[in-house]
A and B are shown apart, each in its own frame.
Chain A
Amino acid sequence: MTAMVIDNLHKRYVDRYTGEEIVAIGDVSFSVHEGEFVSILGPSGCGKTTVLNIVAGFIEKTRGTVTVGGTEVTAPGPDRGVVFQSHALFPWKTVLGNVTFGLRMKGMDKARREQAGRDVLELVGLSGFERKYPHELSGGMQQRLGVARVLVNEPAVMLMDEPFASIDAQTRRKLQQDLTALFELRRPTVFFVTHDIEEAVFLSDRVVVLSGRPSTVRDIVEVPLPRPRNWHAAVESTDFRTTVTRIESLLSGEEAHVGDGS
């Protein structure tokens, strides 16, 4: 089953200050299956976040179609929950208040949504922090909450915009590991934006590699790593190394397919 289809996506805008027209996204097409983890990777400024923002309904596309769960995207909606790099938690709501926000918007009664909230907090390792405010949590814990807050709504696709980019390296490894475990347990559909090749390979089933601006899909790389995955095994596996090397060469513009996995 296909959860999300992006077809001939094109985005053009006019720079406010210089007045020049910029083509951010040239022509991008790919799809994400239900229960699949797909990353989009590209050089910085290539418009990968723009793709996510269009899918989320935050900005308008110039041409093409984006379909999620069979309906075309026109505005933001709870079927496409977003995990932001800046976490974007509500400072005035407690951890429980943040995690139950979506369910409250849906009109779920208090007892049920708080139960669902507690369950998902336990899943991401935040039990016991229900009454805390976001600023009282560490960066890593804040992003766990960011993930929990989206996961609890069971969106058709979970959109993640470089969610671990502003977190220190050690914590980042742990969060990636825990996200993988969570994914393997719950099998949500995930669309993940990153500029970190190893992160993309470790987490994903497939990696969409974009070219520089105006971005087009250079290749879609299957990751041949078995699940469950862990960092320890991954870094030692040849499949991991060859996939990373292959993406590196795709990004540097070389067409040499080192250890072609297809």
Chain B
Amino acid sequence: MRIAARVFAHPVVRTLGPFVPVVLLWWLIARSGIVNESFFAGPGVVWSEFIDLVRKGILPSYLSDSVTRLAYGVGFGLLLGIPLGFLVGLNRWARRLTWPVLIFFQAIADIAWLPIVIVWFGFSLTAVTFVIVYTIVFPLTLGVVAGVDQVPDELVRAARSMGASRFRVFLEVIVPGSLPAVASGIRTGLGYGWRALIAAEIIVGTSGIGFMMFDARRVGDVAEVFLGMIILGILWYALDALVLAPFEQATVERWGMVRQVETTR
């Protein structure tokens, strides 16, 4: 029993273990021949497709294109969304003036912008970045505003009565106090951004994972479509496990401000 417990506690087993039945089911369906082979590629075929695309250098180059675009979009999105959120959250006038506009633009889906974005920027990195930034900024801004609102008044009062200036209250109380909501805003924003990227690549794209999948569909290469889907999942998982979850564990979870974040390691 104890050895079994030790094995299941191992990070590799904990990460990959739950996927074993998924892959097994996938393999069984492919093997059984219920579905036509040209519509449904098995694990073996996808794997050799993967090796092939890596060898040709297509996959690494598409992958780095997608990740670069995401990085640009996320970078600008964070730079814009976080200060905007604090401004709207803290300033009564800023909130009154921008709130209806924020709600209005939040409702226009990212992809709904693509037609006009292509008119403005063509099939370019700028167009893709615009869509990702747009997608990230709204959930992030609203997340930061929610975070500012959830900082208990008494913490601000306590800081003020210990001699903190308004600026110090912002740095020492508002910023860390809003972190749980800001962190979940970042998580949501990134998730939306990631989806927007793939959508944008499918429509605008000349390269990237989204383009690869759509292009493969055109020539009927189902294995490549499957491969693209798997890569999307793995990339998000890696981002969550290597960046988001550790950040939350070291901050809001350590401080007892949220329940334990589900560990993905």
Type the 1/0 row for B231-265, where 1 means its CB is closer than 8 Å to any CB of A.
00000000000000000000100111100000000
B residues near A174, Cβ cutoff 8 Å = none
Residue of A nearest to B159 (CB): A101
Task: Name the contact of B158 in the complex, choosing from A57, A88, A106 (C-beta under 8 A).
Answer: A88
Min distance, Cβ B63 to any Cβ of chain A, angstroms: 37
Task: Name the contact of B161 in the complex, choosing from A56, A86, A133 (C-beta under 8 A).
Answer: A56
Min distance, Cβ A121 to any Cβ of chain B, angstroms: 16
Q: Does A105 sit at the interface, judged by CB under 8 A?
A: yes
Q: Does B217 sit at the interface, judged by CB under 8 A?
A: no
B residues near A133, Cβ cutoff 8 Å = 254-256
* Interchain CB contact under 8 A, A88 and B168: no
Residue of A nearest to B154 (CB): A88
Bound Cα distance A100, B154 (Å): 18
* Interchain CB contact under 8 A, A153 and B162: yes
Binds B, one of A16-24, A37-45, A73-81, A165-173: A73-81
A residues near B251, Cβ cutoff 8 Å = 92
Q: Does B14 sit at the interface, judged by CB under 8 A?
A: no
* Interchain CB contact under 8 A, B256 and A136: yes
Bound Cα distance A150, B160 (Å): 12
Q: How large is the interface on A (under 10, 10 to 19, 20 to 34, 35 or more residues)?
A: 20 to 34
Chain B interface mostly helix, strand, loop or mixed? helix
Residue of A nearest to B254 (CB): A133
Task: Name the contact of A101 in the complex, choosing from B152, B162, B165 (C-beta under 8 A).
Answer: B162
Task: Name the contact of B256 in the complex, choosing from A56, A88, A106, A135 (C-beta under 8 A).
Answer: A135
* Interchain CB contact under 8 A, A82 and B158: yes
Q: Does B43 sit at the interface, judged by CB under 8 A?
A: no
Residue of B nearest to A155 (CB): B161
Cβ < 8 Å to B, chain A residues 65-87: 75-78, 80-82, 84, 86
Task: Name the contact of A106 in the complex, choosing from B154, B163, B173, B177 (C-beta under 8 A).
Answer: B163
Task: Name the contact of B163 in the complex, choosing from A56, A92, A153, A159 (C-beta under 8 A).
Answer: A153
Q: Does B176 sit at the interface, judged by CB under 8 A?
A: yes
Beyond A77-B160, A84-B154, A92-B255: 19 further Cβ-contacts under 8 Å? A56-B157, A58-B157, A76-B161, A78-B161, A81-B162, A88-B152, A88-B154, A88-B157, A90-B159, A90-B176, A91-B255, A92-B251, A101-B162, A101-B164, A102-B163, A105-B163, A105-B168, A106-B163, A133-B255
